[in-house]
Amino acid sequence: MPLWGCMGADRSEVTARPSPRAVSAGSTVARMIDRDSIALDGRYALVTGGARGIGRATAEALARLGASVAICDRLAPEMADAASAIEAIGAEVLTAELDVRDEEAVAAFVAEIGDRWGRLDIVVNNAGGGFFAPVLDVSTKGRAALIAENFTQVADVTTRCVPLMVEGGSVVNITSIEGHRAGPGFGIYSAMKAGVENLTRTLALELSQRRIRVNAVAPDMIPTPGDADLAEAAEAMSGADDWAMMPWPDEGHPDDVAGAVVWLCSPLSRFVTGTTVHVDGGTSAAAGWKRRHSDGVWVL
């Protein structure tokens, strides 16, 4: 620990410490935070699963801050609507109708991005999904589909995009709170999200010399069109009993997740890599504690 961080430090040691503003990695140039610190002008981004929900909110947020955005999804009509919204912001957009589990289709789209833009600065691995079923009820085919959709494609998309990140950049993997706790009814999905969280940390180390930061964002249940059926099947967010669904009193929104992603893609987070940002209204912090609606008391 530096001497100026110790309770028993001598006053001369405290006053002699270097100014944080005078210190920067590999440079003597002072740094400061201003409005431009969040700007993404001239950056090129790819968002998988960008047709709706968190993916669309993220793509639009990146565009509003100046980035050109490529999106891919299986939902062609909704993706066309998302592309129109991005163009209305004034940003350039590329689209591809594809399943991220289709390696050839992903390779072709990444090649198109390379031909068009010459590079990528931001990759947001948002695509994923699942279904409600106890682990023992999931068929062999179902397991393979869940693994491919929630883990394998993340590794594949990232691997194909890294060669285009010639000037460094940021990879953000959208995982889930289920990757940090048990997931009854979503066991394979939960395990794959945990795998992506671990992969995030490993890639952060392996790609650091390329100046590519790799982080994850782990939301709790965010109301989106794609999750409506899953929430009903699992009776999540039902509010049928006297227990609050999460500590924070307000419901989450896709823009809450997009905000965390934007921060991780911006210069503001230049020293952040290999970590997970929990966008869950305090659910992970609660760790089993529940709040009664009737009297506001927290109980285990």
Active site positions, annotated: 189
Fill in the amino acid letter for 245: M
Alpha carbon separation from 277 to 35, 175, 264, 270, 280 (Å, rounded) = 22, 10, 9, 15, 9
Tell me how far apart the alpha carbons of residues 178 and 184 are, in angstroms, rounded to a whole number: 9
**How buried is residue 274: exposed, middle or buried, by Cβ count under 10 Å (0-12/13-18/19+)?**
middle
Tally of CB atoms within 10 A around 270? 15
Q: Which helix H or strand E contains 219, and what residues bound it?
A: strand 212-219
Given 3-state DSSP classes, what are the helix, strand and coil percentages for the chain, each rounded to the nearest 5?
A: 45, 15, 35
CA–CA separation, 300 and 236 (whole Å): 19
DSSP state at residue 149: I
266, 66 contact by CB (below 8 A): no
CA pseudo-torsion sign 104, 105, 110, 111: positive
What is each CA distance from 122 to 40, 46, 73, 125, 205, in whole angstroms? Answer: 10, 6, 17, 10, 17
Tally of CB atoms within 10 A around 9: 15
Neighbour order of strands in the sheet with 276-279: 93-97, 68-73, 44-48, 122-125, 169-174, 212-219, 276-279
